[in-house]
Structure 1
């Protein structure tokens, strides 16, 4: 399916949801999949403070262990981008998409034996009213949520939102047992396919397949899974080459061709919405000056970064968190490398030359160090001296402490989901502190807009604002580059919303 056709299909799916379409009850059986075996993976994004509290989840290690194995959410984005039910079996909306009713799956039990029901949904989502939760922008839009039956919940939103069922697939919105949430966070008690056998924060997760599950016959093929936390991509690659693990995420782009040439490995290079680049705090001097931001945008050689950092596994970015796989991607003309224009904007900001510190770490994205070096070389031609301050990859990556830093993000399946997560004033992951003024007005209008043509116009304007005025400098859309051994088989379609089949490889893959 072409990117354009996929976007049109997703636009139709979103419109259908607003008109009251039901969610799919589940996925079909997977051809060729068989039960058995133990799956071992080396994953990045781990921290020593990792826990089963979804409000703290940020990296792949915990999202793969939590949403991908131990817990469930109400909805799930399938590998092709369509939405289907997980703990929800169906949903419908009022004509204005402001009141949503979700039917819940009966007969489900948590790993401690407690029956799942509506009260568990209400208690779990209420956790994210916490200001520090990355999912707070989603839950903050819910004016009221109530149980209308033991297995039915109803949400009343502040304004209509055509994407609301998609938002409930966010990997932070895990469902815990009501009245036992503290215990569930301490021990890892969910409704997922795998029960926690061992958990060492920031180091290791081992899960064993539950005996019976509502996904039997269509997911959860391994008898057990073993995730090793390895933040250094070189360590992950060595672990797979040595046979210690079966799969790795974030394969270094420079190693992809050589690994693909080895018959015992398969390399997956999957285009989604992932983007790499840099973030400026627009509320701090000197980055509060729009001319300085424009100077920095014009001073980056995007083509060089795609070639030297991604080795062709990606494309040129356009300074917006909306990517080519989003249904309303605008395909705007990216900012080009123009030292003269950068110098002009620098002068308008009151500087002939300027030195700026930049925080850099491979924890931001693989190749961040080389990308920063290329940026330093091109920016020097415009009178901008970038002073690189490097952190080791195992260091906890500070999201808020630096005015100018490297960063990468997987994006989200819909525009509202993406913008709400990283470009609203209240979003904890808003690294630029942008999203106010007209941008916020457009976001609210687009949420409640049912006409796909008008919605496309609104989202296109927001992408232009991000490109021309915002604090994101995103030179690259980066493919998800990952690999597995010949011991592992995967479906023909592998999810690319996030790495490793949307973090769900434990339930979607099987032994070859």
Structure 2
């Protein structure tokens, strides 16, 4: 058992509570006794022909779901929101949360039979570090001063300053552990991992095929003999594939017709509340969106209640242009709510020296199910605000490569993160690889660094509250709603309690579910 709760560093967190950060496997009661055997076919949105096995460049869900079954992270998030063991069997910080020591399991092996060592862990993390790195998860590791081995199965992370959330950050899906080359670089091209499955086939943007290893160090996981993850971008096509038995599980069903789907014999919904949110990023590095009055006008031009009702059909909650959700520890529920207000929108346009605004909004069903309809709703509500929105439906393939962070105003989706520091560091910090609006705010960046090292819980709460207020009022992304995760399955597959940090049981569906 870990000593991670020393001095109350993580006391009370959602993602890692004080009651023992790392718990034994199998602590959660399961609905039914799992068994080895059978297969599972997953129909999933979001694939692209640019998909890669390089975890630094992960963009789409199908390859991530597959590689999370092939590989492990140091810790993972369970159904209660706690960080629990994955490849690390224990984690211990020093008193200031500056030095973190991870003991790696000695019985873990890669798919080729080679034992995992500290060298592999170090190579996997260094893959995301350094000036040359293009990793989407580079930002959170900039706090790491040094990574070193202490024997074959112990890895020591030394941070520039204390971070009470650091262990939880290592659960991010980018930080998969893969073999090291002789020169100390990460051999991601091998497709090898320490997980319960081996990668049999990867056709980018089309299909991922997996096969059970049988020698996985977790004896209570990885039940299916084979798994296929099939890219089906269109939500209607996904639902039809589930109803006709072509697949066993789908993500993101069309919420407009999900009521009919769940009444279908042999089909049920799996709904969880987590940290997901829909976004409308505005590139702040060019006119007119570099003017915060223009951004505020757009924030007041969206009818969030209508969005919740017509796009999510109630499966979510109205948001307030900040990515910190009610599932997060320091969620600021008392911020003044941005509501649909044409008068305020017009006021801010005038403050920007405008009587009206013409703007293009790029969208695609790849952004999220219902994104095209959502853009059209916004187009309608914005008219009364003096804002003329032209909806541009973009090609679904390579949307994340060609549109997101490229077009001035578009639609997007985030699964969120279990800690405030991780979410803000990935998408709002100055220079972050995935700062989707290229937003810069000096006060916010100062608070981000200070809050990370603050061990007093009340002070941390105050700082994260102020950061949410800054993002809500000045940030470059409209966040109209928080989204419940809704998946659908047939009665051929079963599961225990479901994690809410991402859809598909925290993206660990392949490892955690079994044949009914």
Whether TM-score is above 0.5 comes out as yes
The Cα shift of 1:185 comes to 2.8
CA–CA separation in structure 2 for the residues paired with 1:271 and 1:44 = 20
Alignment of 1:98-177 (within 5 A): 98-129=98-129, 130-177=132-179
Structure 1: which 5+ runs fail to align?
Answer: 1-7
Aligned: 1:482 with 2:501: no
Q: Segments of 4+ in structure 1 off by > 6 A?
A: 180-183
CA–CA separation in structure 1 for the residues paired with 2:324 and 2:503 = 17
| 2:42 alignment partner, SS class | strand
Match of 2:387 in 1: 384
Alignment of 1:295-314 (within 5 A): 295-314=297-316
Match of 1:231 in 2: 233
CA–CA separation in structure 2 for the residues paired with 1:379 and 1:119 = 55
Match of 1:241 in 2: 243
| 2:208 alignment partner, SS class | strand
| 1:328 alignment partner, SS class | coil
The Cα shift of 1:435 comes to 4.6
Q: How many aligned residue pairs are there?
A: 499
Deviations 1:40-96 (A, max 9, x none): 1111121112221101212211111011x1111111111210011211111111211
Aligned: 1:191 with 2:194: yes
Q: 2:343 aligns with which of 340, 350, 355?
A: 340
| 1:405 alignment partner, SS class | coil
The Cα shift of 1:436 comes to 3.2
Cα contact 2:267–2:488 (8 A) shared by 1: yes
Deviations 1:121-146 (A, max 9, x none): 11111110143201101222111110
Match of 1:60 in 2: 61
| 2:84 alignment partner, SS class | strand
Cα contact 2:321–2:479 (8 A) shared by 1: yes
Task: Quickly say closer, same or farther: Cα 1:100–1:208, change in 2 above 3 A.
Answer: same
**How high is the TM-score relative to the length of structure 1?**
0.94
Structure 2: which 5+ runs fail to align?
Answer: 1-9
Aligned: 1:23 with 2:22: yes
Q: 2:276 aligns with which of 252, 274, 295?
A: 274
Alignment of 1:319-330 (within 5 A): 319-330=321-332
Cα contact 2:15–2:418 (8 A) shared by 1: no
Cα contact 2:21–2:83 (8 A) shared by 1: no
CA–CA separation in structure 1 for the residues paired with 2:26 and 2:156 = 24
Deviations 1:159-212 (A, max 9, x none): 211100011011001111111798953341111100112221211111111121
Aligned: 1:497 with 2:498: no
Q: 1:209 aligns with which of 208, 212, 228?
A: 212
| 2:128 alignment partner, SS class | helix
CA–CA separation in structure 2 for the residues paired with 1:112 and 1:49 = 27
CA–CA separation in structure 2 for the residues paired with 1:248 and 1:353 = 42
CA–CA separation in structure 2 for the residues paired with 1:40 and 1:184 = 28
Cα contact 2:122–2:147 (8 A) shared by 1: yes
Cα contact 1:309–1:370 (8 A) shared by 2: yes
The Cα shift of 1:263 comes to 2.3
CA–CA separation in structure 2 for the residues paired with 1:278 and 1:400 = 11
| 2:92 alignment partner, SS class | strand
Aligned: 1:511 with 2:512: no
Q: Indicate the larger mover: 269-278 or 477-486.
A: 269-278
Deviations 1:305-344 (A, max 9, x none): 0010011111101101111111111113420111001101
Cα contact 1:359–1:390 (8 A) shared by 2: yes
CA–CA separation in structure 2 for the residues paired with 1:22 and 1:404 = 40
CA–CA separation in structure 2 for the residues paired with 1:262 and 1:77 = 32
Task: Quickly say closer, same or farther: Cα 1:202–1:183, change in 2 above 3 A.
Answer: farther
Cα contact 1:60–1:499 (8 A) shared by 2: no
Cα contact 1:24–1:89 (8 A) shared by 2: no
Q: Indicate the larger mover: 117-126 or 52-61.
A: 52-61
Aligned: 1:84 with 2:84: yes
